[in-house]
């Protein structure tokens, strides 16, 4: 049996929405303590015809594994054009399900994508002064804690990453 499903390999070999967005409305930066992988995710928000805020554009860069790349690619295709509320409803299990499963040891990789999106939305809300829900605040605090730990243990890597992405932050 193959380790990864066809769908995982499709997104890994041809990842969608890779890159950065200049002057993004929100940026999510998250890391994973188990492996040290890092994800940057950018969103651009616009209003649809009904005046609802939608994720008009989304891009990501990751120094992550096969599943992290495939997952985030899949997530970006699922949320592009969706309202922020709809995007926030997508959980890691939804991604794993769409892939027809991933090896157990790779389940944590699916979290990077959804956490990075939550952080990008958090960043957007902060910038425009919108109240933050308790759930989003808690997720942000958890992401920050992991970031601090990663900085402590992989400080050099973090510095390089921040340098590489600095010009894209407002
Ligand atoms: S091993 Fe790090 S995100 Fe997959």
pLDDT tier for residue 1 given thresholds of 50, 70 and 90: very low
Q: Does residue 32 line the site of ligand 1, with CB under 6 A?
A: yes
CATH 3.40.1160.10 fits 6-165, yes or no: no
Is 106's pLDDT higher than 80? Answer: yes
**Pair 170, 123: CB distance under 8 Å:** no
Is 169's pLDDT higher than 70? Answer: no
Q: Does residue 28 line the site of ligand 1, with CB under 6 A?
A: no
Give the pLDDT score at 168: 56
pLDDT tier for residue 166 given thresholds of 50, 70 and 90: low
Residue 102 CA to residue 105 CA, distance in Å, equals 8
Q: Which atom of ligand 1 is nearest to the CA of 106?
A: 4
């Amino acid at each position: 049996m193959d380790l990864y499903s066809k769908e995982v390999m499709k997104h890994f070999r041809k990842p969608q929405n890779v890159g950065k967005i200049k002057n993004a409305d929100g940026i999510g930066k998250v890391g994973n303590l188990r492996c040290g992988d890092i994800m940057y995710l950018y969103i651009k928000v616009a209003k649809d015809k009904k005046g609802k805020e939608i994720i008009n554009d989304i891009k990501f860069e990751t120094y992550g594994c096969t599943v992290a790349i495939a997952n985030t690619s899949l997530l970006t295709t699922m949320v592009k054009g969706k309202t922020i509320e709809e995007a926030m409803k997508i959980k890691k299990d939804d991604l794993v399900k769409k892939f027809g499963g991933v090896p157990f040891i790779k389940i944590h990789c699916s979290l990077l994508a959804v956490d990075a999106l939550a952080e990008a939305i958090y960043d957007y809300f902060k910038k425009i002064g919108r109240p933050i829900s308790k759930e989003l605040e808690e997720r942000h605090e958890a992401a920050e804690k992991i970031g601090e730990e990663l900085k402590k243990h992989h400080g050099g890597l973090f510095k390089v990453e921040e340098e590489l992405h600095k010009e894209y932050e407002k």
